[in-house]
Amino acid sequence: MKIDSKGNLILGTTVILIATLLLVAIFVFTAINYIENQNIDSYENDNFKYIVDDYSNNIEILGRQSIDDACDKVYKTLKLFDSEDQIKKNLNKKLDEKNIEMEEKYDAKISSSVLSVEPTDSPWKVLIKVKLDIRKNSNRYSKIIEKNISIEGLRDPLPLAKLSVASGIYIDGDKLNYFNALTRYLKLRNLDSPFSYAFATTPLTIKKCPYDPYIHHGDPGVLKDCLKKGYFHESRDGSCYLCRLEGKGTCPHYGLEVFIQTHTPLKNDSISCSDHVIFHDHYTGQKIDEYDIDSLILDSSHRKKYGVG
Ligand SMILES: [Zn+2]
Ligand SMILES: [Zn+2]
């Protein structure tokens, strides 16, 4: 038997035709599927976006509360060895409660886990990262939410973390009064003129100094106002909020410094009054105005930084 060339031609054409039809069918099917999926995706994404936005606001509020709760522990005698871990625990607990509330609100399964609590380039902010998982109608969505939390307005934990409540420090209005705690601290380390720091005071809460650049503290009335309001300043040598919670006078992160104001008639040299110098660096300074009992005791490099004396 021999198939003639005509039969070959018909067979060939049919095969090509079927193949083309099949390709077109596959293309149309895929395209329709793709468009449909995209619609579902964007619909679900909007749905999730709403939950994520709501959640993100919660992290800001609950994160700040969690930091404040850690600070509260320090103010109530407890020593914190790992502030990040403590804040994580506090926040996880708060978010677990929030998740139940959110599940009802959005009719979705919600779970979360705090990944990290970190210092940032700005000493006024702490970065919190939370992994959020949402399941709704067989759709899953995961997102890592990052939130910068302001520490302005929170209490400064360093004095109590360093010296403890038992040292005699007490809250005096919007200030902390060191009573005889710093005198004992300086005496114990054989540092100059420990009695200069009897009843020294420092601001209770963290407020950002608006006199920036700091050299303006030399302008008339500025330093006086800064001390009265109890402002904090940025400092490479000072410690960040998370390290302050652990009682560290200095740390590798960009940090804060505050003046510890003495109220003494003594005129001798003592330790310079920036808190990182008192609690870590221990170098000497002199009164800016030796006849003023409220004068700061300051070293030359800090005088330069603030443009005073
Ligand atoms: Zn200031
Ligand atoms: Zn630090």
Whole-number Cα distances in Å, 158 to 72, 83, 167, 176, 204:
12, 12, 13, 11, 10
Position 3 scores a pLDDT of: 56
Whole-number Cα distances in Å, 27 to 22, 34, 38, 290:
9, 10, 16, 89
Q: How far is the CA of 258 from the centre of ligand 1 (A)?
A: 8
Q: How far is the CA of 249 from the centre of ligand 2 (A)?
A: 9
Two tokens, residue 213:
């650049």
Q: How far is the CA of 295 from the centre of ligand 2 (A)?
A: 29
Q: How far is the CA of 279 from the centre of ligand 2 (A)?
A: 14
The answer, as to whether pTM is greater than 0.85, is no
User: From CA 3, how far away is CA 184, in angstroms rounded?
Assistant: 113
* Per-residue pLDDT of the chain in tens (309 residues, 90 and over written 9): 555 667 777 788 888 888 888 888 888 888 777 766 554 555 556 778 888 999 999 999 999 999 999 999 999 988 899 999 999 999 999 999 999 999 999 999 999 999 999 999 999 999 999 999 999 888 899 999 999 999 999 999 999 999 998 999 999 999 999 999 999 999 999 999 999 999 999 999 999 999 999 999 999 999 999 999 999 999 999 999 999 999 999 999 999 999 999 999 999 999 999 999 999 999 999 999 999 999 999 999 999 999 997
Ligand positioned closest to the Cα atom of 256: 2
Position 251 scores a pLDDT of: 97
Position 38 scores a pLDDT of: 55
User: From CA 119, how far away is CA 122, in angstroms rounded?
Assistant: 8
Ligand positioned closest to the Cα atom of 117: 2
* Contact by Cβ (8 Å): 155, 206: yes
Position 262 scores a pLDDT of: 97
Show Cβ contacts of residue 307 under 8 Å, excluding neighbours closer than 6 positions: 214, 215, 216, 217, 218, 219
Position 221 scores a pLDDT of: 96
Q: How far is the CA of 216 from the centre of ligand 1 (A)?
A: 9
Per-residue burial over 54-76, b if 16 or more Cβ lie within 10 Å, else e, is ebeebbeebbbebbbbbbebbee
Q: How far is the CA of 46 from the centre of ligand 2 (A)?
A: 38
Position 25 scores a pLDDT of: 86
Q: Where does residue 89 rank: exposed (0-12), middle (13-18), buried (19+ CB within 10 A)?
A: middle
